[in-house]
Structure formats: C-alpha cells, structure tokens
Amino acid sequence: MVKRVNRSDAADEHEIAKIKAKHDKQISRLYSQDEWIFAGMAYIGPLFIFPMVMRQTSAFCQYHARQGMLLFGSEFVFMLGSFLPIFGVIFKLATLAIFLVGLGLGVRAVVNEKQEPLPVIGKYAETQI
C-alpha cells in the first residue's frame, strides 16, 4: 500500500524540525541569560564595572569585563585627544569608530559564547596580573 503525502504534512514536519532545532540550540547554551546580559553590558563604556563586581565567579563575564575595560580605556585616551585644537575632530571620529567596532565585535563574541580578544588591544586583557 502506497501512502500519499500531502503538502501540509510535509510542511508540518518541516515546522516541527525547525522548532526542535531551535529548542536544541537553546538547551546547548553554555551560559545563562544573566551571564549573557552582564557580558554584553561590559562593552558599553564604564558599565564594565557591573560584571566585574557582580559576576566574580563567572570566568566568561570576567573575561568580557576585562575586554570592556580596555575598550573603555582606549576610548578615554582618544576622547582626551579630542580637546586638541586642530586634530580634535579626527580624535572624536576615532573615538566613535573604536566604540562602534569594539561594541560590535564584543557583542558578537558574547552571542557566540566565545572568548575572542578585541583587535589590537584585546591581547592585553588576557594577561593575568
């Protein structure tokens, strides 16, 4: 006996497979939602202090807090350069670029649950004091 398959049956199976894949992905996450929030917060200016203080036992949050601290420090240095009379505009644009690139790369690493260093400055956060 040949079983006929309706298009609606195939669509239902496809939808079930998509839901199962999404569910499996959520289960396979390594870190909690709180850790994601705190790690992502670390890349927004001086907010790196919150994961550094409130998530001291999480190596994931501590890593991203150190990366965020270096990002904020480099933004601060370039921001000080913006007070120069002639080159101020260049330093302001460089500060904005550093912030946007650092934020984007940092949040991407958090979402992918990786501990990737930021370009140029990130390697200094990996050294332990």
pLDDT digits over 11-59, tens only?
Answer: 577 777 777 766 665 555 677 778 888 999 999 989 999 999 998 898 8
Q: Give every CB contact of residue 49 below 8 A, 6+ residues apart in sequence.
A: 65
Q: What is the pLDDT of residue 26?
A: 56
Averaging pLDDT over each range in 30-34, 81-85, 100-104, which range is the top one?
Answer: 100-104
User: What are the extents of the domains in the chain?
Assistant: 30-124
Token pair 């839901």 is at which residue? 19
- As a whole number, mean pLDDT of residues 89-107 equals 89
Does the structure show a pLDDT above 80 at 85?
A: yes
pTM of the model: 0.70
Within the chain, what is the greatest distance between any pair of CA atoms? 86
